[in-house]
Structures are given as C-alpha cells and as structure tokens.
Amino acid sequence: MSGNRAVAYKGPGIVEVVDTPYPEFELKDGPGVNPANVGRKVPHGVILRTVSTNICGSDQHMVRGRTTAPEGLILGHEITGEVIEVGPDVEFIKVGDIVSVPFNIACGRCRNCKEGKTGICLNVNPDRPGSAYGYVDMGGWVGGQAEYVLVPYADWNLLKFPDREQALEKILDLTMLSDIFPTGFHGAYTAGVRPGSTVYIAGAGPVGVAAAVGAQLLGAACVIVGDLNPDRLAQVRSFGCETVDVSKGDPRDQIEQILGVPEVECGVDAVGFEARGHGADAGHEAPATVLNSLMDLTEAGGSLGIPGLYVTGDPGGVDEAAKVGSLSIRLGLGWAKSLSFATGQCPVMKYNRQLMQAILHDKVQIAKAVNATAIPLDEAPAAYAEFDQGAAKKYVLDPNGYITA
C-alpha cells in the first residue's frame, strides 16, 4: 500500500491519479524536487488530510506543456485540510484544526517574510525567491491535489478556521482562500480600486472573477470584465459586472460604450502569458496583448494589478523571445502615462484572514461567483480537460469525502 493518492502531471495534456508515499517530516527526492532540498528536515511542519484542493489556471500552464515541469510532478497548490500530525517544533497548530494553506510557502524568518512579502520568501526555494506546493521551479514541495500533504513552517503559514462545523458548512467559499480569492483581491487592491472606482479586469477565469468580487468589496462604482469565452462572460454578469467580448474588438471601444469614456481608473491582468489577441487576432496567442491594452485603457496616473502569470521559460512560446519570457511591451506608453505596475505571486497571508471574516459574516459569495464545483479526486483528469476547454467553473477536489459528507 502506498498510503496516499495524488494527481500527477504525466506530460503535455495528461494528468493521472497515482499512488504516492504518505508524507514524512522530510522532503524526499522525486520529480521536480530541487537536489538542494532533498533530505531537508521539516520538524516545523504538519501533515494534513486534505479537505478540499482546487484546480487552478496556474496548473494548466504546466499541464499544457507550457513550462519545464517534469513528468511525474504531483500537482496542487490550493489546499485546505485537517491537521492529523504535527512535527515536534510546532507550537500552536493542533491536531484536529481545519486550516487554509496559503499557496506561497514561506519560512516566516527571512527578511522578505518579515516585511510581509511571503510570495518571495528567501529560504524555501534554492533556485530563486518564492515557492509553492506542486509547482515547477519552486523547490519541489509536494503538491496537495492528494489525500495527504506536508505543510512546512505550519505555525507561520496556516490560517486556522475558528469553528470546525462552520468551516465545513462554508467550505466551498473558504477553499478559495488558499489562492484565488486573495489573488483576485490583490489584483484589484494593487490596481488602486477604492469606493467609486471604474475598473477593467482582463480575463473571466476564476482569478478574474475573484478580482471582480474583490473590486466590488472595495466599493468600485463599475466593474467591467473582458474575455472571449461567452459562458465565462455570462457568469460574471450573474453577479453584477459589465462585460466586454475581446473577440469583437479592442476593449477600449466597448468600455467607451459602457462608461462614456474609453478609459478606466484601474486595470487588472487576470490572463497572463497565454493571452489571445483582440478582435480578428483572437484566434491566436499574442502574449503581450493584455499588458499593452491595459496601458492603453488605464487613465494616466493609474495602476495595473497583474496577477496573471508571466514566465521566464516557455517551450511553447510564439517566438524565440517569448520562449524566454521576453515580450514586446510598449513600456514607453506606460512611462508617458506614469502608470504603476504590481506583479508577482500574491502574498496570500496579507489578505486571507480578512477575506475569511468577510466569508464567515456572509459579506461575500465567492463560491457562487466562481461557480465552485466539487468532484472526487478520481474525476480530476476529466475536470482538467473541461477547465482547459474554458468551463465557467472552479473545480474543487474532495479527496477524502469531507464535502460530500
């Protein structure tokens, strides 16, 4: 018996549910594990029985073969779980706690962590600042689309829910705290959204939806979301957003029809490097499209929140430059308009507790907005395929039956 089952990346377009070892308080060698991390002791960690674990657009970049992820990599960075074992150095987290795991792995001890920049922790990834579970080039921490997962620096990383029963009742909302709700909120927040703002969000996937919900929470006057997927656009209209169909042309013109002016105060990129072109170019990939269009349609002096992912290596890039993450960005325009840019991993810990409170006090319906859809672990391969086809859903894996129970 292997003791654990998990979703593994098996090559472009293929994921499988496989038998894997039950975690120990030590990082073992395996696909994607940085050699410098092999044998690393984790006495400050806990082992979780997974309550829920979501499929993300960030996983899709790997599964589409658009990164250097190795075959066999265990996927999953959006994790909520029940603590079933604690390491000897864990002081405050207890067995039985139901906890949300920020997708960023952070030590809580380095300069960046101390400044709240948990997306670029200096001590968890030997390759570069910043780490995550189940992700290429992130140090090799094993993914959580599994029955069981190890979480390091548990006292620092974990957000404990105050009440077990309430947590399980609201699990489809709370499961979004591990990544997309803080990430979308961060996109809106770093775009400068405040009461009365006008906002354009590129992308109506789960992160774009979460950014729209975040912008509404922050008091935006008008939230406009653009995509080329009609089902996803219908989904964002269902909770009060305006929409733009980028396959019909430049978002600027459609924004003018909605607002009377062709610009917004705040721009959010919830698409990233696999962006399609606009109008007649929507049939093919044009990776700089969203960044250039946001610079064009955001007012001078405005800010761009850029949670959409950009990579340093992309085997499937449209040209040689894109293959190393170099895009043709019209920075001169951004400079002329004095725009600010916020990029990178969302430091989840900066927002997750407050957003948890908003969920627990019924101030926000994030699960409904993203159309959270719970499925068993074994249905992960089918869900990956449907999500890749643009299903207007956020898939939540239920590996241990907590949700169906």
Instruction: Give whichever of 302 and 308 is closer to ligand NAD, judged by the CB atom.
Output: 308
CA–CA gap between residue 347 and residue 199 (Å, rounded): 22
Contact residues: Zn ion, CB under 5 A: 56, 58, 78, 106-107, 110, 113, 121, 123, 179
Instruction: Give whichever of 105 and 246 is closer to ligand NAD, judged by the CB atom.
Output: 246
Residue 110: name its binding partner from ligand NAD, Zn ion, none (Cβ under 5 to 8 Å by kind). Zn ion
Residue 58 binds ligand NAD, judged by CB under 6 A: yes
- The residue length of the chain stands at 405
CA–CA gap between residue 183 and residue 206 (Å, rounded): 10
How many Cβ atoms from other residues are within 10 Å of residue 350's Cβ? 17
Instruction: Give whichever of 144 and 251 is closer to Zn ion, judged by the CB atom.
Output: 144
Return the residue of 205, 267, 317, 399 that touches ligand NAD, per CB under 6 A: 205
Instruction: Give whichever of 153 and 310 is closer to ligand NAD, judged by the CB atom.
Output: 310
Return the residue of 56, 106, 136, 174 that touches ligand NAD, per CB under 6 A: 56
CA–CA gap between residue 201 and residue 266 (Å, rounded): 8
Residue found under tokens 């590996």? 399
Residue 106 binds ligand NAD, judged by CB under 6 A: no
Residue 40: name its binding partner from ligand NAD, Zn ion, none (Cβ under 5 to 8 Å by kind). none
Instruction: Give whichever of 93 and 290 is closer to ligand NAD, judged by the CB atom.
Output: 290
CA–CA gap between residue 202 and residue 276 (Å, rounded): 11
Return the residue of 150, 191, 193, 290 that touches ligand NAD, per CB under 6 A: 290
Instruction: Give whichever of 102 and 334 is closer to ligand NAD, judged by the CB atom.
Output: 102
Instruction: Give whichever of 267 and 308 is closer to ligand NAD, judged by the CB atom.
Output: 308
Instruction: Give whichever of 43 and 301 is closer to Zn ion, judged by the CB atom.
Output: 43
Instruction: Give me the least distance between CB of 200 and ligand NAD, in Å please.
Output: 10
CA–CA gap between residue 140 and residue 173 (Å, rounded): 28
Residue 60 binds ligand NAD, judged by CB under 6 A: yes
Instruction: Give me the least distance between CB of 392 and ligand NAD, in Å please.
Output: 9
Considering only 146-154, 165-173, 272-280, 332-340, which stretch makes contact with ligand NAD by CB under 6 A? 272-280
Residue 246: name its binding partner from Zn ion, ligand NAD, none (Cβ under 5 to 8 Å by kind). ligand NAD
In contact, 2 and 68? CB cutoff 8 Å: no
Residue 348 CA from chain centroid, whole number: 10
Residue 214 binds ligand NAD, judged by CB under 6 A: no
Residue 107: name its binding partner from Zn ion, ligand NAD, none (Cβ under 5 to 8 Å by kind). Zn ion
Residue 97: name its binding partner from ligand NAD, Zn ion, none (Cβ under 5 to 8 Å by kind). none
Instruction: Give me the least distance between CB of 225 and ligand NAD, in Å please.
Output: 8
Instruction: Give me the least distance between CB of 336 and Zn ion, in Å please.
Output: 34
Instruction: Give me the least distance between CB of 398 and ligand NAD, in Å please.
Output: 19
Listed in sequence order, the residues at least 6 apart from 239 whose beta carbon sits closer than 8 Å to its beta carbon are: 212, 213, 216, 365, 368, 369
Return the residue of 82, 147, 173, 227 that touches ligand NAD, per CB under 6 A: 227
CA atoms within 13 A on the CB side of 246: 28
Per-residue b/e over 110-143, b at no fewer than 16 CB within 10 Å?
A: bebbeeebbbbbbbbbeeebbbbbbbbbbbbbbb
Q: Is 61 left (phi over 0), alpha (psi -120 to 50) or beta?
A: alpha
Residue 139 CA from chain centroid, whole number: 18
DSSP string covering 145-202: SBSEEEESSHHHH-EE-S-HHHHHHTHHHHGGGGTHHHHHHHHHHHTT--TT-EEEEE
Residue 61 CA from chain centroid, whole number: 12
Nearest to 207 by CA among 240, 179, 175: 179
In contact, 181 and 170? CB cutoff 8 Å: no
Residues 298-337, one symbol each (x = binds ligand NAD by CB under 6 A, - = not), give ---------xxx----------------------------
Residue 276: name its binding partner from Zn ion, ligand NAD, none (Cβ under 5 to 8 Å by kind). ligand NAD
Contacting positions for ligand NAD (CB under 6 A): 56-58, 60-61, 179-180, 183, 202-208, 226-229, 232, 246, 270-272, 275-276, 278, 289-290, 307-309, 345-346, 390
